[in-house]
Amino acid sequence: MSIAPIVFTKLLKIPISLLRSLGIHLIIYLHDILIINHSKEKLIDDYKRTENLLENLSFEINYEKSVLEFTVNLAINDVIDLRKLFIIKMR
């Protein structure tokens, strides 16, 4: 078993903590990042701040695999009322 996912997760811990301290709502799973907000305008700001920080730290965002559009279609609709949230997925 590779330790790369563990190392990558630990590397992301500090920048993700900083973003969360700025009020940005993120869900992280391995190399996927979901940015969540109730407003499209604030979501765009959150995305730009996240993108800027990660790129300044030399992380590369795979734009081909990222979903950089507003969506509310996830499999957990019945657990969380996602109709009131806007989400961007970064990889």
Residue owning tokens 């949230």: 85
Note the pTM of the prediction, 2 decimals. 0.76
What whole-number distance in Å separates Cα of residue 73 and Cα of residue 68?
A: 14
**What are the tens digits of pLDDT across the range 24-75?**
999 888 788 888 888 888 888 999 999 999 999 998 888 888 877 766 655 4
pLDDT at res. 41 = 86
**Length of the chain in residues, anyone?**
91
Structural domain of residue 68, as residue ranges?
4-90
Residues 15, 53: contact at Cβ < 8 Å?
yes
Whole-number mean pLDDT of the chain? 80
Q: How many domains does the chain have?
A: 1
Q: Which residue has the higher pLDDT, 24 or 84?
A: 24
Helix (H, G, I), strand (E, B) or coil at 9: helix
Residues 88, 81: contact at Cβ < 8 Å?
no
Residue owning tokens 């990222």: 66
